[in-house]
Amino acid sequence: MHHHSSDYPRPQLVRNDWTLLNGTWDFAFDDEEAGLQRKFQDGLPKGKTIQVPFAYETRLSGIGDPASHPCVWYERKVSLQKKPHSRILLHFEGADYESEVYVNGSFQGSHRGAYERFTFDITEAAVEGENRITVCCRDTLSAEQPRGKQRWERDNFGCWYVQTTGIWKSVWLETVPDPYLERVKLTPNLEEGTLSVEAVVVSSEEPAGELNLAAKASFSGQSVAKSKVCLQRESGHRYAAQFTLGVSDRTVDPWGIRKWSPEDPALYDLELTVTGGAGEPDTVYSYFGMREIRIANGNILLNGAPIYLKMILDQGYWPASGITPPSEQALVEDIEKIQKLGFNGLRKHMKIEDERFLYWCDVKGMLVWSEMAAAYAFTDQAVTQFTDEWMQIVQQNYNHPAIITWTPFNESWGIPEVRTNRQQQNFTEAIYHLTKSYDAMRPVIVNDGWEHTVSDILTLHDYEEDGAVFLERYLGHRDEITSAKLFHCRAKPAMAEGYDYRGQPILISEYGGIAFSQKKEGEWGYGNSVDNEQDFLARFEKITDAIKQVPYITGYCYTQVSDVEQEVNGLMTADRAFKVDPEKIRRINEAGTPLHG
């Protein structure tokens, strides 16, 4: 399906000619940052090796050193074939935080940002046969850079864990025809029965004639639309096209469109071909889901119908590999287990997950809130770095139908004075509007938890463990709960000063967090801990039912999927064993879900 083979790092844009560079690389710590003076790009000091893509802090890297090292080097040899009229691209799915890349000692470029993909065209530096790829990564414990759950102190504290340094997602090579499709933005329109396609093509050679882009959309092998357009030069080597495919077809669905939803995660295939260059055509395979997400009358509407969100907080953390999934299978297993527990969505917390995870959410119908990794300081530098990285992430993951919400801020992290400080409020408004300027479709949550400014959904974090107390607080008290005055949770109001509640859907986007553990030193959860399944289920049921009884609440997000280091409030252990019978949790989740008009 979708021409996607296991371990292919970019399922949204698939070509056949690619090489994964994960595995053993030479490695060196460079705490003095002497490498650039000593020309490490000519070769690393021999001795250490590392298993890419695992950060040196993790066990699976083969090093397992939790200490912070500000500068690390990687190197490996790779054999390349140079073809006429083609380019060789080197892709990094994620490296934290500043990366410099050399090929055969020649500088190829640098990138700043921890969580998004970046690419270098290494054609000019590459030679036929053996090549040497060298990467220098610098990272800091600075609170100004987006770091999510990566600690900025020497030891773990609260809900912050070991940092991640250097390469932590797949590294891979791709040989592409010249010209080639660089990116594509796919926007479904259910009402019109169309898919809007915006494509960018790069051609390093001056084309003899015109460049064309052909698009073919199909569903389960049945063709639904074809189009061919002429690409227009945008600037220099870049060409672009924007066109619309009518994908309505009554042989696919009696109503013309097979809608994507959690119950029926229907995906269409898309084949794109660039022609007109001197070399081979560039054929790329993609896919899309026809679905609509919008907000009306205090509800979140999926494909025009109100949806009650039953989500779980997912930190995507593994004991042996940190924030890097140990395998693609581990990602699939997490999604399947979350579905087994009866949740229809997840809030990917404080990280941008491997794109294969989003692919499997698309395939399996798992709704996703995509949340940025927070910075923890408010400075000019922090604003610049955050904005740049966030917009790259929104663009990179835009096409995934599973993502229904962008969440750039959480719990005032990185904007500590947002309740009263106009400058910090302006930052949140800017990010909200920038996100909307690129994505007209999805709701944006600004400051999940409390002290919201402009936000399409009002989300509250409330770890109250007693159902009766929760009901007393919320039932009939919508106006107080949604004001800038009442301190509802951890002494924070729902709205920042100067902002009013405007009828947005209301969700409890963190609750529960019930600690269920063997009581080791330093372990914690929210409220009192429980020591058996029966007590756990009783508490889970009471509080979940209480949330469902409040007519103006349209969903919830339980904390959390699995234990993470010192935080033991998962429904599973850190190794993904269920602590409670998933069937019992599922029954509670599925019982009497209200949809209040």
The Cα–Cα gap between 151 and 142 comes to 10
Handedness of CA 106, 111, 117, 121 (dihedral sign): negative
Residue 225 pairs in a beta bridge with: 217
Q: What is the dihedral of CA 136, 139, 145, 146, to 10 degrees?
A: 80
pLDDT in tens, the chain (597 residues): 455 667 899 999 999 999 999 999 999 999 999 998 888 888 898 889 999 999 999 999 999 999 999 999 999 999 999 999 999 999 999 999 999 999 999 999 999 999 999 999 999 999 999 999 999 999 999 999 999 999 999 888 888 999 999 999 999 999 999 999 999 999 999 999 999 999 999 999 899 899 999 999 999 999 999 999 999 999 999 999 999 999 999 999 999 999 999 999 999 999 999 999 888 999 999 999 999 999 999 999 999 999 999 999 999 999 999 999 999 999 999 999 999 999 999 999 999 999 999 999 999 999 999 999 999 999 999 999 999 999 999 999 999 999 999 999 999 999 999 999 999 999 999 999 999 999 999 999 999 999 999 999 999 999 999 999 999 999 999 999 998 777 666 679 999 999 999 999 999 999 999 988 766 667 767 777 888 999 999 999 999 999 999 999 999 999 999 999 888 899 999 999 999 999 999 999 999 866 654
Q: What is the CA radius of gyration of the chain?
A: 24
**pTM greater than the 0.95 cutoff:** yes
- Identify which of 40, 39, 64 has the alpha carbon closest to the alpha carbon of residue 50: 64
The label of the residue with tokens 């040989």 reads 175
The Cα–Cα gap between 272 and 181 comes to 8
Amino acid at the residue 187: T
Residues in the chain, total: 597
CA distances from 353 to 7, 95, 123, 169, 452 (A): 14, 13, 29, 9, 25
Measured N-to-C along each axis, helices 533-549 and 467-474 cross at an angle, to the nearest 10 degrees, of: 10
Cβ neighbours around 193 below 10 Å, total: 18
Q: In what order do the strands lie in the sheet with 282-288?
A: 222-230, 212-219, 268-275, 282-288
Domains in the chain: ranges and CATH: 22-169 (2.60.120.260), 180-288 (2.60.40.10), 293-590 (3.20.20.80)
Q: What is the largest CA-CA distance in the chain?
A: 74
N- to C-terminal Cα distance for the chain?
38
Cβ neighbours around 308 below 10 Å, total: 17
The Cα–Cα gap between 529 and 513 comes to 9
Amino acid at the residue 322: G
Residue 98 pairs in a beta bridge with: 112, 138
